[in-house]
Amino acid sequence: MALLSTDTLHVSIGDTTVCTTLDLAVSAGERWCILGRNGTGKTTLLHTLAGLRDADAGDIHLDDQSLHSLPRRTVAQHIGLLFQDHSDAFPASVMETVLSGRHPWIGALQWESEQDIALARAALHAVNLDELEQRIVTTLSGGERRRLGLATLLSQDPQLMLLDEPTNHLDIHHQIGMLDLLQEKSVTDRTALVFVMHDINLALRYCTHFLLLFGDGETALGNAAEVLTRDRLERLYQHPLQKLQGTHGNVWLPQ
């Protein structure tokens, strides 16, 4: 049974039709990537799958239950969302921020337990921010803040992670490190991942399935071999592409 599925989902924003009659099924251990040009509604679709906005039509199911029938706390225990950008309204510390990932699991009148703190520290260690626990988040670099966002998501420990451009602000070393970490979690914990990414080649290296948004409501979805043909990708990006063989498989370059 799919962790998350959609039934004839129709999503639009303004004059843009993101998808029509989308039937998507994301199962444990799968790593999906949503690809499309700027303005085709990738983030809008991701937020709709998270239950943060309503679809125009169709249904979204989480573990075979209607997403909108479930309490928000239950949804937050199963789905985690990494936003494209972070806005820090209050001067919280790094540790306070990563502990916010534990909130779906803590009662209204409870404090974080030793186990919660241990999980938060393990998440900070995983993204190499161990020594910054007491730093105020507004003093972090863009890359450090991005890694803190990933650590907060890891401490939340949902079954399904929705990640909007997770490599934003990261250098090549940290891009590979964070994607390696997420891939390992997907394999060992059977966590499902849905990425929005612009780098086709990073997506090919780490993702098992793809969803293409063409900007007119049409979509294509399936595994990489089925979906990522030259004709589809050139139509998707409206630019000629050249396919090369790389160390980790095919590589697509603009001509």
CATH at 36: 3.40.50.300
Q: Is 123 part of a structural domain of the chain?
A: no
Residue 90 lies in a domain: no
pLDDT computed for residue 28 by the predictor: 97
CB neighbours of residue 97 within 10 Å: 24
3-class state of residue 212 by DSSP? strand
Domain carrying residue 40: 4-85+158-254
Instruction: Specify if 114 maps to a domain.
Output: no
Q: Is residue 60 part of a domain?
A: yes
Contact of 225 with 57, CB cutoff 8 Å: no
pLDDT at 7: 97
Residue 96 belongs to a domain: no
The domain tally of the chain equals 1
Distance CA 217, CA 55 (A): 13
Q: Concatenated DSSP letters for 2-70? A: -SEEEEEEEEEETTEEEEEEE--EE-TT-EEEEE--TTSSHHHHHHHHTTSS--SEEEEEETTEEGGGS
Sequence-separated (6 or more) residues with CB below 8 Å from residue 157: 80, 101, 119
Distance CA 127, CA 49 (A): 26
52: which 2 tokens? 């943060």
Q: Which residue has the tokens 């990489």?
A: 224
pLDDT below 70 — which residues of the chain?
A: none
Q: Does residue 220 form part of some domain?
A: yes
Whether 236 is covered by a domain: the verdict is yes
Residue 166 located in a structural domain = yes
E-assigned strands of the chain?
4-13, 16-22, 25-26, 31-35, 57-62, 65-66, 79-82, 160-164, 192-196, 209-213, 219-223, 241-246, 249-254
Per-residue confidence (pLDDT) for residue 246, from 0 to 100: 81
HSE-CB for 69 with a 13 A CA cutoff: 8
